[in-house]
Structure 1
Amino acid sequence: MKKRWIADISLLAVTFVWGATFVVVQNAISFLEPLSFNAVRFSLAGVFLLLWLAIFHRSLFRHYTWPLIRSGIWMGLWLFSGYAFQTIGLLYTTSSKAGFITGLSVVLVPLFSFLFLKQRPSLNAGIGAVIAAVGLYLLTIGDGKMVPNRGDVFVFFCAVSFAMHIIVTGKYSSRYSTLLLTMTQIFAVAVMCAIFAFLFEDATQMWNIAVLRKQEVWSALLITSLFATTAAFLIQTNFQKYTTAARVALIFAMEPVFAALTAYIWAGERLTASGVIGCIGILGGMILAELPLTWILGKWWRTKRHFTS
């Protein structure tokens, strides 16, 4: 029981860091363009993870194969597109809205699993997707306009990419070393971001000391590369085995909530009434999609018996 609580608290801390990164990244990309920022972020994260493997898991390097590298690059492609769309979207939308829209990846996974893997989604996953879709509409149309802004559209494609990343990760993670796959995809993301930064941005800013020394930039790079990527992955790998999948899903569903709270505290962002209702709908849909229907019915039945006995 003690290990379960330690695991839950550790995973909740990881979720808080993920939620808080929306604000710090939004501040940083005011000085360092999105693709350039991600190129530096994932390069640092890859180096941190490489050092970790070299010190504590050196024997794993013997298991590096070309199929593993190809799988890691394919996973990295979807991870790259997810973070690219998310970071670009933060140029045009708020951190709180981006957090909740990104969370839609949870309810998109069952839909994509049905389309691409022919795996029929559960009833609660379908209901959760509908509730989350209504919530997305209320959140993105909360400013009174009849169409979402372009930042919301970018972040929605980010959610699509993250959902596809979850699917391909599930396909390859059982075949190869998780640590090696993670390091491979992280370096793949860094290379892809660097290439596109040279094509579409002023990539020279990536090694501009004046830019990197800005507090908004170096603090965001430190938080996202060391804590939100390397440390978060190592914590998740170490502690997730001590808790249940349903509890992990509930904990990770708190990410957009933390994104909204940190945006409220640090950036002074406010949501409209319909935006708040939309956020509640997305969060509720995410939780409903992840919890087994038998667990939900069991909780309802025990509560009913408690009040009727």
Structure 2
Amino acid sequence: MNNQKSLGIIALLISAFLWATASIFVKQLIEDIPPCFLLAARYVLAAVATIIIYAKRLKKIKKDMLIAGFWMGLFLFGQFITFTIGLQYTTTSRSSFLIASYIILLPLAYWIIRRKKPGVNDILVAVVCMIGICFILGGNLDGFQIGDLYCVACAADYAAYIVISAKYSRRYDGGLLNLIQITTTAILATLCSLLVQDYHISITPGQFGGLLYLAIGCSVIPFFLCIFGMKRVSTTTSGVLLSFECVFTSIMGILVLNEKMYWQFAIGGGIVVLAFILSEMPLMRMISKKSIRLRRL
């Protein structure tokens, strides 16, 4: 494994960790702040920060990069608006489980968007990873809730976002691409907030601090790291590494919220790690290629 690939893996794991912390903040803030306003405030702050950071490079943005960033921002908005609304009607653990189902949708999204059939290894990795996630969070599920529909929609958006981001991150400047997608999400979230008229609200200093952390610590930094990482590892591996978000969420629940440690977590975490190993094993890729050749005979 070369140094660049190692850096990409580390970047994606850090992204997963930072996004895991977002669930706690969003769940707390959503009790007092309407979802569209919360999303708008988060991404407007993030957009302002990225524009300041990349002000001297704005002239390098071309039409094709702008279009790519817009599509990424569109799916990003869809992902986070469904995630934010879904958390109003379900628990953090349940939301994490349902959204993590994106890993099983990833091969399908890759097929639809990239017009390329996923390999046998890609499908195997997705199934193994989802089994691990079921072990980690499956014990927290109960009857159907309306928030489930939003979380499933979020998972579908997330799968599409990963495929599109993996495609464009290899073509364009990661920093500018991040700026465009975050700004697009900020504009769409602001329009949504204005349309549903949920912007009449006062923000306390504590809530503003939470919004600022969501903007910088859970948006600007992780999305930059995510684009950086996707340039250096495969789409399948990116999906598996980002699924560690549910692992980190469970660990924080144990350490921060004093949730009970149970044996399913240890097994599930091990299976998710196994999925990552399978995604990188040359042997599995050889088996995948041989299987495809046999089917053609």
Unaligned runs of 5+ in 1: 299-309
Task: State the SS of the aligned residue for 1:93.
Answer: coil
Superposed displacement of residue 155, structure 1: 1.2
| CA gap 1:176/1:237 in 2 versus in 1, 3 angstroms | closer
Is the Cα contact below 8 Å between 2:165 and 2:227 reproduced in 1?
no
1:227 matched to 2:217? The reply is yes
In structure 2, the partner of 1:196 is 192
Task: State the SS of the aligned residue for 1:121.
Answer: coil
Superposed displacement of residue 178, structure 1: 2.5
How many Å separate the matches in 2 of 1:41 and 1:162? 18
Task: State the SS of the aligned residue for 1:91.
Answer: coil
Is the Cα contact below 8 Å between 2:126 and 2:275 reproduced in 1?
no
In structure 2, the partner of 1:179 is 175
Bigger mean CA deviation after superposition, 134-143 or 255-264: 134-143
How many Å separate the matches in 2 of 1:282 and 1:126? 19
Is the Cα contact below 8 Å between 1:94 and 1:269 reproduced in 2?
no
Is the Cα contact below 8 Å between 2:99 and 2:154 reproduced in 1?
yes
1:70-109 Cα distance to aligned partner (Å, 9 max, x none): 3322221110000011111111222223223323323322
Is the Cα contact below 8 Å between 2:97 and 2:138 reproduced in 1?
no
Superposed displacement of residue 224, structure 1: 1.5
Letter in 1 for 2:105: L
Kindly report which structure 2 residues correspond to 1:202-281, keeping only aligned pairs within 5 A, or say none. Answer: 202-205=198-201, 208=202, 211-213=203-205, 215=206, 217-236=207-226, 251-267=241-257, 276=264, 280=268
In structure 1, the partner of 2:293 is none
Unaligned runs of 5+ in 2: 287-297
1:97 matched to 2:87? The reply is no
How many Å separate the matches in 2 of 1:136 and 1:9? 20
How many Å separate the matches in 2 of 1:133 and 1:239? 22
From 69, 78, 86, the counterpart of 2:83: 86
Is the Cα contact below 8 Å between 2:129 and 2:271 reproduced in 1?
yes
Is the Cα contact below 8 Å between 2:110 and 2:117 reproduced in 1?
yes
| CA gap 1:35/1:71 in 2 versus in 1, 3 angstroms | same
Is the Cα contact below 8 Å between 2:109 and 2:160 reproduced in 1?
yes
1:185-209 Cα distance to aligned partner (Å, 9 max, x none): 111111111111122242122xx2x
1:254-290 Cα distance to aligned partner (Å, 9 max, x none): 21111122234444556999xx57x939963993697
Task: State the SS of the aligned residue for 2:54.
Answer: helix
From 132, 145, 149, the counterpart of 1:149: 145
In structure 2, the partner of 1:301 is none
Superposed displacement of residue 129, structure 1: 3.8
In structure 1, the partner of 2:61 is 64
Q: TM-score if structure 1 supplies the norm length?
A: 0.75
How many Å separate the matches in 2 of 1:33 and 1:113? 33
Superposed displacement of residue 37, structure 1: 0.7
Task: State the SS of the aligned residue for 1:203.
Answer: coil
Bigger mean CA deviation after superposition, 116-125 or 155-164: 116-125
How many Å separate the matches in 2 of 1:286 and 1:106? 14
Q: TM-score if structure 2 supplies the norm length?
A: 0.77
Superposed displacement of residue 249, structure 1: 5.9
Is the Cα contact below 8 Å between 1:103 and 1:286 reproduced in 2?
no
How many Å separate the matches in 1 of 2:197 and 2:273? 37
Is the Cα contact below 8 Å between 2:90 and 2:145 reproduced in 1?
yes
1:126-171 Cα distance to aligned partner (Å, 9 max, x none): 23444566677785685443xx322222112111101111222234
| CA gap 1:233/1:132 in 2 versus in 1, 3 angstroms | closer
**What's the C-alpha RMSD, in Å, of the aligned pairs?**
3.8
In structure 1, the partner of 2:154 is 158
Task: State the SS of the aligned residue for 2:31.
Answer: coil
Is the Cα contact below 8 Å between 2:133 and 2:272 reproduced in 1?
no
Superposed displacement of residue 176, structure 1: 3.3
Letter in 2 for 1:221: L
Identity among equivalent pairs (%)? 24
In structure 2, the partner of 1:118 is 115
How many pairs are equivalent? Answer: 283
How many Å separate the matches in 1 of 2:138 and 2:59? 48
Letter in 1 for 2:181: Q
How many Å separate the matches in 2 of 1:282 and 1:36? 38
